Amino acid sequence: MIRNVVATGAMALSVPAVVGAQFKKPENTNLPGDSGAAAKGFVDILTGIMQWLLAIVGILAVIAFVIAGILYLTSAGDEEQIGRAKKAMIYAIVGVIVALLGMIVLNVVENMLRGEGEFTE
């Protein structure tokens, strides 16, 4: 009896009309092949992927910086622990700098590929 109720409920939830799913394709999603928006090219897709990756690197670098600060605060005068915390802090700072430089390089290359910016004639 309970199996029948569960099976009936599962079938009812799988019917799109019952769960109110969309039957119409979303418009203006800015995805490749979207008829409502300008078609995205390879440069747009690559730029989007690189921006996500650089954002993740930047977030991880900030988290590493916070962890290095906690290591430094909890070292309690242990010189080895202080040295490890300082090294982790330097690496975190380098990570933030790399993420920021990556964003700058990405924007410059994108502008060069599109032929935009002040440096083109």
Q: Is the pLDDT of residue 19 over 60?
A: no
The answer to the question of residue 4 being in a domain is no
The answer to the question of residue 3 being in a domain is no
The answer to the question of residue 59 being in a domain is yes
Between 76 and 8, whose confidence is greater? 76
Query: So what's the pLDDT on residue 83?
Result: 92
Highest mean pLDDT among 8-17, 36-45, 82-91: 82-91
Residue 70: CB atoms within 10 A of its CB come to 12
Q: Which domain holds residue 99?
A: 41-121
The answer to the question of residue 29 being in a domain is no
Query: So what's the pLDDT on residue 23?
Result: 55
For the stretch 34-69, pLDDT in tens is 554 454 667 677 778 888 888 888 888 889 889 988
The answer to the question of residue 91 being in a domain is yes
Q: Is the pLDDT of residue 97 over 80?
A: yes
The answer to the question of residue 30 being in a domain is no
Number of domains the chain contains: 1
* Helix (H), strand (E) counts: the chain: 4, 0
- 3-state class (DSSP) for residue 77: coil
Residue 19: CB atoms within 10 A of its CB come to 9
The answer to the question of residue 46 being in a domain is yes
Asked if 97 contacts 64 with a C-beta cutoff of 8 angstroms, the reply is: no
